[in-house]
């Protein structure tokens, strides 16, 4: 009976989904070591991105009474069947928030008391999570709460970093505050305080793309270089020349930063999407905006803008969500195809996230979330 050449095993394993790989860890010590290695996790993720396989739609219920549930649907399928996945911070009294995501890792947060939060890094596909050590800013007597967060990746050191910006009172005067910036490194498993930011940022989660985190502030966009740990201002499209703009903001999908722009018409029914590109191979922060595509709608979209989630495998359609509705938009025929998602509860609001299924570890001392298998939720009809 012919035997499999040992040198072919890694290439075969790279083609398998995470669920299968987690089961194959028990075949031998060598298989387990291979699958658990950071280099294999990086290669597996890169192959998934290049082959456009293993992409998932994560759904969490944000408008329901506690607890918070998470589900996922598969792009390789029809996106209609959902799978319930365990929430490692699930509480009957507090809601779990998604504070950032990157390469299949999610930063979860849950308020505990006095504006303090507990955090965990979570991989919903390996079912592993790591509760983060508390940040010292939470023990400061002048601490007034978190403002914004972000999760990013440093490829050179294969490190994941969490950025947290907090408001801290410097004196007895409530208006005398500073905005402290703390960075958590997964490699060092510790928090560090870096240079404060001068301006107050809007309370939102950072968008990660091209090695940087972005926060869409009231009148400007602030970026953070995850590798060098420095902030920079990023000009919005309305700052770069065009004047016929009602408003513009930032979104990330397909791994790139976009600015959707609503023209300053009386009843605008289309959005133009501009891609941020680097100039002459430089940094995206020093680049420019390039118009990529236009989304057309039949009605006014100022107060209910559709948000792009992902490109189709063929590249001819984009998945959008608008409120609780998810649909494909085809560029050629400009038709919409609604995705009938089954098995999720009827709540006022959902959040949708697109990620790649990955083996990325949330840390050496991570724990198993306790659920052995996903539960498939089928249509009741």
User: Worst-scoring range by mean pLDDT, 38-52, 205-219, 266-280?
Assistant: 266-280
Taking the whole predicted model, whether its pTM rises above 0.85 is answered as yes
For 54-68, 94-108, 111-125, 177-191, which range has the lowest pLDDT when averaged over its residues?
Answer: 54-68
pLDDT in the model for residue 185 = 96
Mean pLDDT of 104-128: 87
pLDDT band at residue 122 using 50, 70 and 90 as cut-offs: very high
The one-character DSSP state at 158 is T
Q: What is the pLDDT of residue 18?
A: 93
Helices (H), the chain: 9-14, 18-24, 29-36, 38-51
Residue in this structure with the two tokens 């440093």, named with its chain if needed: 154
Tens of pLDDT, residue by residue over 323-368, are 888 999 998 888 889 998 888 877 778 889 999 999 999 987 666 6
Model confidence at 85: pLDDT above 50: yes
pLDDT of residue 137: 78
Alpha carbon of 215 to those of 160, 280, 361, 364: distances in Å?
18, 25, 26, 30
Task: State the helix-helix crossing angle for 38-51 and 29-36, rounded to 10 degrees.
Answer: 70
Q: By mean pLDDT, which of 108-117, 265-274, 313-322 is the weakest?
A: 265-274
Task: Using the predicted structure, report yes or no on whether residue 279 has a pLDDT greater than 60.
Answer: no
pLDDT, average across residues 179-199: 90
């Amino acid at each position: 009976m012919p035997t499999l050449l040992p040198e072919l095993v890694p290439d075969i394993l790279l083609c398998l989904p995470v669920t299968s790989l987690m089961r194959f860890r028990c075949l031998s010590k060598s298989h387990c070591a291979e699958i658990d290695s950071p280099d294999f996790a990086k290669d597996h993720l890169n192959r998934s991105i290049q082959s456009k396989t293993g992409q998932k739609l994560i759904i969490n219920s944000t408008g329901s009474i506690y607890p918070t549930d998470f589900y996922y649907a598969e792009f390789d399928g029809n996106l209609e069947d959902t799978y319930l996945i365990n929430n490692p911070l699930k509480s009957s009294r507090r809601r779990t928030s998604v504070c950032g995501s990157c390469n299949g890792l999610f930063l979860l947060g849950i308020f505990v008391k006095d504006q303090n939060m507990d955090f965990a890094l979570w991989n919903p596909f390996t079912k592993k999570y790591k509760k983060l050590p508390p940040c010292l800013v939470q023990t400061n007597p002048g601490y007034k709460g978190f403002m914004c967060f972000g999760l990013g990746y440093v490829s050179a050191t294969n490190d994941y970093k969490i950025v947290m910006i907090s408001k801290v009172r410097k004196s007895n005067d409530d208006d005398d505050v500073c905005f402290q910036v703390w960075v958590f490194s997964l490699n060092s498993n510790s928090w560090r305080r870096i240079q404060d930011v001068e301006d107050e940022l809007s309370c939102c989660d950072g968008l990660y793309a091209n090695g940087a985190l972005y926060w869409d502030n009231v009148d400007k966009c602030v970026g953070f270089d995850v590798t060098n740990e420095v902030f920079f201002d990023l000009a919005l499209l309305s700052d770069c020349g065009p004047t016929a703009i009602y408003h513009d903001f930032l979104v990330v999908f397909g791994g790139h930063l976009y600015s959707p722009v609503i023209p300053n018409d009386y009843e605008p029914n289309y959005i133009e999407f501009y891609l941020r590109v680097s100039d002459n191979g430089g940094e995206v922060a020093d680049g420019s905006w390039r118009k990529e595509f236009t989304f057309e709608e039949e009605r006014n979209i100022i107060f209910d803008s559709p948000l792009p989630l992902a490109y189709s495998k063929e590249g001819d359609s984009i998945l959008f969500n608008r409120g609780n509705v998810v649909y494909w938009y085809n560029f050629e025929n400009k038709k919409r195809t609604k995705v009938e998602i089954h098995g999720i509860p009827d709540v006022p609001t959902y959040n949708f996230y697109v990620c790649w299924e990955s083996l990325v570890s949330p840390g050496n001392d991570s724990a198993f979330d306790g659920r052995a298998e996903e539960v498939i939720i089928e249509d009741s009809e």
